[in-house]
Amino acid sequence: MRRIAQTLCWLVALAGCRSGPTPPAPDTTAGFTSGVIVDLSHPYDERTIFWPTAELFRLQKVADGVTPQGYYYAANQFSMAEHGGTHIDAPIHFAQGKNTVDRIPLAQLIGPSVVIDVSRPCESNPNYQITTADLDEWERAHGRVPAGSIVLLRTGFSRFWPDAGKYLGTAERGEQAVPKLHFPGLEPGAARWLVDNRSPKAVGLDTASIDYGQSKLFETHRVLMDRNVPALENLTNLDRLPASGASVIALPMKIGGGSGGPLRAIAILP
């Protein structure tokens, strides 16, 4: 864990979290030989799941072949909505004047994780909302959620990806599909308890929204983002993480003024 912590500190420093000259390149093996790296992101392709009203991911091939000069060259262009696939919701998404993607401090996207497993109740109830009772149960088993943690909620829904019908509750597209969404999320009261009492850096989960599918007012988004806490959505492989002790690095595309964007998130196991 000491090497992992050193590597994380180097990443924060490189990101501009301290002044001074650029630090020297680290040993490429330092910090990673003592822990397994787990990818928490789904790939972007033609099967990527988006909100029913959002623009899907599209990849257009520009070049793919040997040039007249004799060397191989490939290039593509892509388009998509900000909010789809494994992505971040920046606080401005639901809180006016709060951080856009490019203004989220990088130190807020790097930190120790806790994984709260609610997969069992979610198996029988796709509309399950994670409550303060679930958080209390986790703390009774594992101790207090440390301030500055990245709190990850494991519903088990990642196993349905990329089947939109099972993952979202409907494979339909358009406004008429929104009322048919059924997947778990974080109950607004539990979100309020977290930000008031445990000060998380970010909150993430393995469903399409931090609010459950049938939400009409997106209160959990509003609670978190009013406190400048971003949400990490459509994560995967949370079943490979321990309840505590892993380190998470969740770096989004740096979209100037963005309300969200694609996210490459990883965890380093202890």
Question: pLDDT tens, 65-95?
Answer: 999 999 999 999 999 999 999 999 999 999 9
pLDDT at 35: 84
Residue 28: exposure state from Cβ atoms within 10 A (0-12, 13-18, ≥19): exposed
Q: What is the CATH number of the domain that holds 255?
A: 3.50.30.50
Residue 126 sits in the same domain as residue 252: yes
- Gap between the Cα atoms of 240 and 162, Å rounded: 19
- Gap between the Cα atoms of 112 and 199, Å rounded: 13
Residue 268 backbone phi and psi in degrees, to 5: -110, 115
Alpha helices in the chain (DSSP H): 2-12, 119-124, 132-142, 164-168, 188-197, 219-226
Residue 53 domain flag: yes
Residue 30 sits in the same domain as residue 83: no
Residue 153 domain flag: yes
The helix/strand count (H/E) of the chain reads as 6, 12
Q: How many structural domains comprise the chain?
A: 2
Residue 241 sits in the same domain as residue 162: yes
Whole-model pTM?
A: 0.88
Residue with the larger pLDDT of the pair 166 and 34: 166
Residue with the larger pLDDT of the pair 30 and 251: 251
Residue 207 sits in the same domain as residue 235: yes
* Domain of 132, in residue numbers: 36-57+72-268
- Gap between the Cα atoms of 44 and 49, Å rounded: 9
Binned at pLDDT 50, 70 and 90, residue 22 comes out as very low
pLDDT in tens, 207-246: 999 999 999 999 999 999 999 999 999 999 999 999 999 9
pLDDT in tens, 32-68: 446 899 999 999 999 999 999 999 999 999 999 999 9
Residue 28 sits in the same domain as residue 92: no
Mean pLDDT of 113-129: 98
| Coil, helix or strand at residue 247 | strand
The span from the first CA to the last CA of the chain, in angstroms, equals: 6
Residue 62 domain flag: no
Residue 183 domain flag: yes
Residue 230 domain flag: yes
- Gap between the Cα atoms of 49 and 69, Å rounded: 40
